[in-house]
Amino acid sequence: MGVTVSEIRVLLRQLDGSPADAIESESLECKPWDPDPRRLKEQLREIRETVVSLANARGGVIVLGIQDRMRSRAEAITGVGDLSPDVLRKRIYDGTDPHVLVDCEEILEPEGRLLALHVPQGLGVHTTSEGVAKVRVGKDCQPLTGSMLALRFSAGTDFDRTAQLLAGSTAADVDSVAVQQLQRLLATEGRKPELARLGSADLLEGLGLQRDGELTFAAVLLAGRATALARWAPQHEVVFLRYTSRARYDLRHNLKGPIVSLLETLRGLLDLHLGVATIRTDGFQEMTLPDLTWWTAREAVLNALVHRDYFLRQSVYVELRPARVEVTSPGGFVGGVSPENVLRHPPVRRNPLLADVLEAAGLVNRAGMGVDRMYEELLRAGKGPPRFEADEASVRLMLQTRSHGAFARFVAEQARQERSLDLDDLILLRAATDRGRLDRWAAAEHLQAAQAEAAERLAALRERGYLAPRGRGRGTSYLLARAYADRLRGTLAMDESVLVDEQAVRQRIQEILGQGGQLTNAEVRRMAGYSRDEVLRLMRALRADGLVKVEGRGRAAHYVAGPRCPRARVRRKSAPARRRKGT
């Protein structure tokens, strides 16, 4: 997995008596760093060209802060001053195409602070953003010529780190308990149950985890002993945190071990710290809503493990927060996937071998249906849809744990009535519940689909009686129909979906005020879809008729029932008859 910091420190000892060039190799480059801001642009260009040359070969390390042609460590190690690793990594990422995300490590030496830039082997042919293409040949960064490019394209450019053979690994590096767990999964949930009957060596060969007596990186992730994981995959770790506030946590577990064993440990922690809510449905039936199902949690964690960048020396984080669970994995999206299209984009796998084995074991879905099912499970349980955030360094998935009980009850009732709601229906109905109003543009954003498709979906929900339209043509907006709005959005909010003319608005205002309620100008605007001036005009007319009156001033002003407003009938107990005198 490249030159390690400990190996770099051993090489640095040679700087007493030898120039920096003497310790360089095909996978190691030393570069000086000048803090003069006038040289910043030139130095960044040189670093990006070196990054590209290593990425186009087998990857490697750039040690920043070492001057060449010096005969002592004290002269050679000039350091990088206060140069920020995060800023440098971002500059490299933005200045390469396709982007190269390097991993930065500090090396603190007596003579100065160095930065080790770990460059991964590329997933294709990389250039700088200025169009410079280079490749590492020996100790030199040479131009990537047309003939070399043709050779690369003809040979293919795919690269899977989890399929790499680990030099020096043997069957002794495999944990027999982890292999047995993998066999049980293959037998009970797997797509290839026949493999479960094979012995350990044949099983690993059959799954592509072992070739010519050596293990692949995926084999160590799935079934490696602790010593093998520490040697070849120290970055393989899931950190579990339980937060009590935004910035404070009271529980931390650093989970290491084969993936299957790690999942079982994580399940125990989530079962211990997540709860279950109970809501009443029709009649006397009850419905239980867990904060998060294990299937959804497992899918989120496996997503992070399968798609993470194993070159980066960082952990996967599972954070239990007061209203959500967050799962963060190192490395951004690949292959054009983004938070804005993750629901619709064809599946793209950074680590195909690891994904294939987990798919064979029945833990992940090769057709990319895992995200769809995660959406659907959360929405049916009354949660909001999953939310993704991503940059060049990580992907964060946020899963709500609090339920909208009325929405969960509504979905369950529709299922009992055999009124099928598919995933797109659930997404739009939940958005209408949360937002109050949807047009084709907002619907397209929620569905991550084209506007025409979103408009068709809205129209279909209208035809089935779930939504009511307002307006005409392309500007039509949709709101929950009266039959559902009161239950899902509350008395005031629901009127947006049914009040289509002034008479209906007047009638509804009288109903609310006649029951002893009160309304502000803002509440009437939200209820009727009117502007502030339209509400003032309407309420002046109602005041003139004696139906409403104003109480309070300024921001405290609100409307209450006037003397002529029909009061809701209240059933009262009749008073006992008076006794007549003398009786």
State the pLDDT at residue 580.
Answer: 38
Does residue 145 sit in the same domain as residue 172?
A: no
**Burial (Cβ within 10 Å: 0-12, 13-18, ≥19) of residue 91:** middle
State the pLDDT at residue 501.
Answer: 53
> Domain residues for 248?
160-266+294-364+393-401
Instruction: Find out whether 49 and 128 touch, Cβ atoms under 8 Å.
Output: yes
Does residue 346 sit in the same domain as residue 485?
A: no
Cα gap 11→80, rounded to integer Å: 19
State the pLDDT at residue 497.
Answer: 39
Does residue 65 sit in the same domain as residue 85?
A: yes
> Measured in Å, how far apart are the chain's first and last C-alpha atoms?
107
Per-residue pLDDT tens, the chain, 583 aa: give them.
468 888 999 999 999 888 888 899 888 999 999 999 999 999 999 999 999 999 888 889 999 999 988 889 999 999 999 999 999 999 999 999 888 899 999 999 999 999 999 998 876 788 999 988 898 888 888 888 766 666 555 444 456 889 989 989 999 999 999 999 999 999 988 888 888 889 989 999 999 999 989 999 999 999 999 999 999 999 999 999 999 988 899 999 999 999 989 999 999 999 999 988 887 766 557 788 899 999 999 999 999 999 998 888 889 999 999 899 999 999 888 888 999 999 998 888 889 999 999 988 888 765 456 889 999 999 999 999 999 999 888 999 999 999 999 999 999 999 988 898 999 999 999 999 988 888 888 899 999 999 999 999 999 999 999 999 887 777 788 999 888 888 888 644 433 433 445 667 788 888 889 888 899 988 887 776 666 777 888 888 899 889 999 998 888 889 999 998 887 544 444 444 433 333 3
**Alpha carbon 172 to chain centroid, angstroms:** 37
DSSP 8-state class, residue 363: S
- The sign of the CA dihedral 444, 449, 454, 457 is negative
DSSP 8-state class, residue 275: -
Within a 10 A sphere around the Cβ of 137, how many other Cβ atoms? 13
Does residue 247 sit in the same domain as residue 336?
A: yes
Closest among 375, 237, 242 to 296, alpha carbons compared: 375
Does residue 319 sit in the same domain as residue 193?
A: yes
Strand, coil or helix: 246: coil
- Of 157, 174, 196, which residue sits at a domain end? 157
DSSP 8-state class, residue 195: G
Does residue 174 sit in the same domain as residue 44?
A: no
Does residue 14 sit in the same domain as residue 98?
A: yes
Give the domain CATH number at 432: 1.10.10.10
- Of 142, 157, 172, which residue sits at a domain end? 157
Domain assignment of residue 82, yes or no: yes
Does residue 243 sit in the same domain as residue 345?
A: yes
Domain tally for the chain? 4
Does residue 68 sit in the same domain as residue 12?
A: yes
Cα distances from 234 to residues 319, 350, 565, in angstroms, run: 21, 19, 74
User: Which H/E stretch holds residue 400?
Assistant: strand 394-400
